[in-house]
């Protein structure tokens, strides 16, 4: 996850406050990142918490990347992942089995990938 913060040059990160150790590590390694201040450049969510996915226009922008954890954990999580893929602002999804990556780029054709590693 920390490598993706560097790769996508994240300035604003949406992260649920469920893992204090992770939040502290991110604060220590990336002191310039603004946490939980929309619009997010990247957001990390759990599929079981679908109600909190940041799909409101004021919370995301065209280059926002959303990483959704645990997309195959339960029937509810699998249903949440299917619902995410059908959201009209979602253009690209990548199913990495343990997590999914969501892109919102308007200029990109709608595609869904499954990558088994």
Q: What is the pLDDT of residue 93?
A: 96
How is the chain split among helix, strand and coil, in percent rounded to 5? Answer: 30, 25, 45
Taken in order 6, 62, 13, 76, the sign of the CA dihedral is negative
CA distances from 95 to 5, 39, 50, 84, 112 (A): 19, 24, 16, 12, 8
> Which tokens belong to 51?
């109600």
pLDDT tens-digit map of 16-62: 766 788 888 999 999 999 998 999 999 988 877 765 566 677 889 99
- Distance of alpha carbon 48 from alpha carbon 99, whole angstroms: 12
Q: pTM of the predicted model, to two decimals?
A: 0.88
Ordered strands of the 92-95 beta sheet:
34-35, 12-14, 42-46, 65-69, 99-103, 92-95, 111-114
Domain coordinates of the chain in residue numbers? 2-114
Q: What is the pLDDT of residues 61-87, one digit of tens each?
A: 999 999 998 899 889 889 889 988 988
In CATH, the architecture of 2-114 is: 3-Layer(aba) Sandwich (3.40)
Cβ neighbours of residue 87 under 8 Å, at least 6 residues apart? 55
């Amino acid at each position: 996850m920390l490598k993706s913060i560097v790769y996508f040059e994240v300035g604003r990160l949406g992260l649920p406050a469920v893992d204090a150790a992770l939040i502290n590590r991110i604060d220590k390694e990336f002191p310039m990142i603004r946490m939980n201040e929309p619009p997010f450049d990247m957001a990390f969510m759990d599929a079981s918490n679908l109600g909190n996915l940041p799909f409101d226009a004021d919370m995301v922008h065209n280059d926002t990347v959303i990483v959704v954890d645990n997309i195959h954990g339960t029937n509810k999580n699998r249903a949440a992942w299917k619902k995410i893929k059908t959201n009209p602002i979602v253009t690209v999804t990548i199913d990495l089995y343990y997590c999914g990556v969501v892109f919102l780029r308007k200029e990109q054709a709608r595609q869904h990938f499954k990558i088994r590693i």
